[in-house]
Amino acid sequence: MHKFPEKLGILIENPGFIPHYSGIKNLKILNGMSKMKVPIEQVRAAMIQVGLDPNSKKHVKNYSLGMRQKLGIAQAIMNEPELLILDEPMNGLDEQSIKEMRAFFLRLREEKQVTLLVASHNKEDLEVLCDELFEVHDKGVRRKGEVTA
């Protein structure tokens, strides 16, 4: 029997945050609710890694869609997960941010040995980030390229 990773990070398609709090305050609250709390320095580092300023007092309600997406990614990586589940990870990101996030996820995979599970409609994201591709369809799940009877 395989052991499920204790350190799990998840990015849902549309992450929700408290709109009238800053990004760092939102992450502090989420960290406080976690059973695997991390030091505030680690939370701040996660924001910096995705290109957000942890010192910004800007409320999340004033963030662009791309900034909210990056905050969701920061939340997913702040506990240094072994398994990172990403649902539409490039949602709302501009072209430059997409390149940066793809490179970031590849570094996590290669340097930190993080397993990525990516759900996306973006073929390029899947080709760049994934070693194996599976398709979900009305008959279940199959490895991309397999023929079902």
Place of tokens 């998840």: 10
Report which secondary-structure segment, H or E, holds 101.
helix 95-111
What is the chain's pLDDT, residue by residue, as a tens digit (149 residues)?
Answer: 666 667 899 999 888 899 999 999 999 999 999 888 999 999 999 999 999 999 999 999 999 999 999 999 999 999 999 999 999 999 999 999 999 999 999 999 999 999 999 999 999 999 999 999 988 877 788 787 654 54
Domain boundaries, given as residue ranges, for the chain:
8-143
Contact partners, residue 146, CB within 8 Å, separation at least 6 = none
pLDDT of amino acid 17? 96
Does 8-143 carry CATH code 3.40.50.300? Answer: yes
pLDDT of amino acid 135? 84
Distance CA 12, CA 87 (A): 5
Q: 77-109: b or e for each residue (b if 16 or more CB lie within 10 Å)? A: bbbbbeebbbbbbbbbbeeebbeebbebbeebb
